[in-house]
Amino acid sequence: MRFSVSLIPTLKEAPVEAHTASHRLMLRAGLIRPLGSGIYTWLPLGLKSLRKVEAIVREEMDAAGAQEVLMPAVQPAELWRESGRWDFYGKELLRLIDRHEREFCFGPTHEEVITDLARRELKSYRQLPIHFYQIQTKFRDEIRPRFGIMRGREFLMKDAYSFDMDAAGLDITYRSMYETYGRIFRRCGLRFRPVEADTGSIGGSASHEFHVLASSGEDVIASCSHCDYAANLEKAASGPLAPPTTTPAPQPLLQVATPGKKTIQEVSAFLQVGIERLVKTLVVEGDGQPYLLLVRGDHELNPIKAAAALGVRQLVVPEPGRIAELTGGLPVGFLGPVGTTLPVLADSALEASNAFVCGANTLDHHLTGVTWERDLPRPRFADLRNVVANDPCPRCAAGRLALDRGIEVGHIFKLGDKYSKALGVTVLDQEGKERTPIMGCYGIGVSRIVAAAIEQNHDDNGIIWPVALAPFEVEILLANPNDPLAKETAETLYADLHAKGIGVLLDDRDERLGIKFKDADLLGCPLRVVAGGRALKEGKVEIQVRKGGDPLQAPVGEAVTTLIARLQSLLAAESQG
């Protein structure tokens, strides 16, 4: 591609709305342009990179034996009513009405459509296992679209769905997808980590997310320093905490004045008591029923774990006004479990606590010296909190948990028979009996990968593409278009690289070399060749690696082989995972 005739609208400054490196750089390098909130046009360079991700995903899915299909983006509401999700999915679902007043949605995911296909086309155990995938535009009316295409409303996803005769079959398919995902992300040159994920309201039996490690990631993942345990914070558990080394001696129950001290920090400072000796009392509503949840002062409630422990579908943390209503007008900020009439559930870390501090249910007062059994009944204990750095690993005795940030780029899920049962898929087994196939589903955020790759690979000057995803592997900078020797060298190199199947961008613009260098840094092609200047007078071109290192010179005649060898060694180093 020739820079002079292409749409590569680079920007000196990043638009103010861009808060992450990838968003800024995708706008500045002219890869994408916004059309509306969370919807973007992919410009030529961005699209090239997107297509590369697609090609890698397609090759690996084909190699794993999945069959590519393309399902409609627009789906009839009836199908979603059959699965029960029309009402449950809420506002993320973009709903449409056609000229006959029939309801549709723009697919945020395709379980219903693939299951409908399966019930029509699958008849016999001989057809199973079978596995379908597609690469397609999805729409989710995200409450907070942000970070550019990272969390768009319209985005490109690879979604796949497998059908097996039984759970043992699904185990094999799931394992194979786990391995396939590893290969895909390694080939993309990403540093990633598979983690255990919450199976949530879909109620499947196992799930893993694949996270690209990046400080700007929206997710927190916990991993063990010693074994291979890793989980999303939503799901991560801690091993049992050692009992506090300084267990306080028994203390009398006292009500103390804490005027205006509502937060844990304020109370801890005011009473001169360590924050871990305080107990936070939280009022929540689970499926409309109020509960009191207790967690240690230095811990945070994990609503997903709490919902599971209470056995409720939906957990809501009510507004202060509603809390006052639910507690019969008790002062928010001074709530506590002593004397409450609400059902109480406490985090397991509190099991060994005694002589703790909590709200007194009286304005401007707290209780100190609170002791289980003596002052209040021992409640039910369950894992209700987010793990924190340095918690013991739940799997091995030796390890401690570390927390990192990640960008979710893939998600695999054992669905079980939820959809196949709801939509009535049956196949005949070897004995001629009707059986319900067991499903798995497997998603990859194809467009999100482009942003995640940039998030992980950039510097102050621009993008540093991994070779596998670079719009072009090589950029040739023609130092001076009016110098016939430079022009001829650049054109020959351009044609030769093309002939070898190397993606190459030729900056043939009538611009100063300084500007070309700046844009080349911003665009981030892995290798850059300068045709011109003193080197060319000596029959050489200068080659630079965008990742860094000293430039090297190669005789014009050896430039192509030198560049190809460089690309291969970069590619090999990047696909280590």
Measured CA distances, 226 to 157, 229, 243, 271, 396 (Å)? 34, 8, 22, 39, 8
**How near is the Cβ of 152 to ligand ATP at its closest, in Å?**
4
Residue 556 has φ and ψ, to the nearest 5°, of -50, -40
* Closest-CA residue to 45 (of 16, 3, 17, 13): 3
Instruction: Give the nearer residue to ligand ATP in terms of CB position, either 406 or 471.
Output: 406
Measured CA distances, 133 to 151, 408, 425 (Å)? 22, 19, 18
410 binds ligand ATP (CB under 6 A): yes
**How near is the Cβ of 110 to ligand ATP at its closest, in Å?**
11
**How near is the Cβ of 320 to ligand ATP at its closest, in Å?**
28
**How near is the Cβ of 23 to ligand ATP at its closest, in Å?**
12
Is 385 in contact with 299 (CB distance < 8 Å)? yes
**How near is the Cβ of 438 to ligand ATP at its closest, in Å?**
19
Distance CA 458, CA 474 (A): 17
User: Residue count at the site for ligand ATP (CB under 6 A)?
Assistant: 15
Instruction: Give the nearer residue to ligand ATP in terms of CB position, either 140 or 516.
Output: 140
Distance CA 259, CA 60 (A): 63
Instruction: Give the nearer residue to ligand ATP in terms of CB position, either 231 or 531.
Output: 231
Tell which one of 411, 509, 540, 546 touches ligand ATP (CB under 6 A). Answer: 411
Instruction: Give the nearer residue to ligand ATP in terms of CB position, either 34 or 443.
Output: 443
* Closest-CA residue to 187 (of 67, 63, 337, 78): 63
Tell which one of 408, 475, 507, 521 touches ligand ATP (CB under 6 A). Answer: 408
Distance CA 46, CA 34 (A): 13
Measured CA distances, 557 to 56, 99, 491, 496, 541 (Å)? 32, 65, 13, 11, 9
Distance CA 28, CA 562 (A): 30
Tell which one of 445, 462, 466, 526 touches ligand ATP (CB under 6 A). Answer: 445
Binding mask 286-325 for ligand ATP (x = CB under 6 A): ----------------------------------------
Residue owning tokens 């049956």: 426
Q: Which stretch binds ligand ATP (CB under 6 A): 26-34, 407-415, 423-431, 499-507?
A: 407-415
Q: How far is CA 416 from the centre of its chain?
A: 23
Q: Which stretch binds ligand ATP (CB under 6 A): 302-310, 354-362, 442-450, 514-522?
A: 442-450
**How near is the Cβ of 314 to ligand ATP at its closest, in Å?**
17
Q: Which stretch binds ligand ATP (CB under 6 A): 314-322, 428-436, 440-448, 469-477?
A: 440-448
Is 177 in contact with 412 (CB distance < 8 Å)? yes
Is 577 in contact with 186 (CB distance < 8 Å)? yes
Instruction: Give the nearer residue to ligand ATP in terms of CB position, either 369 or 410.
Output: 410
208 binds ligand ATP (CB under 6 A): no
Binding mask 78-117 for ligand ATP (x = CB under 6 A): -------------------------------x--------
Dihedral sign computed on CA atoms, order 144, 109, 88, 289: negative
Instruction: Give the nearer residue to ligand ATP in terms of CB position, either 206 or 253.
Output: 206
* Closest-CA residue to 235 (of 484, 401, 416): 401
54 binds ligand ATP (CB under 6 A): no
Binding mask 140-159 for ligand ATP (x = CB under 6 A): x-x--------xx--x-x--
Distance CA 438, CA 421 (A): 9
**How near is the Cβ of 442 to ligand ATP at its closest, in Å?**
9
Q: Which residues are at the interface with ligand ATP (CB under 6 A)? A: 109, 140, 142, 151-152, 155, 157, 408-411, 443, 445, 447-448
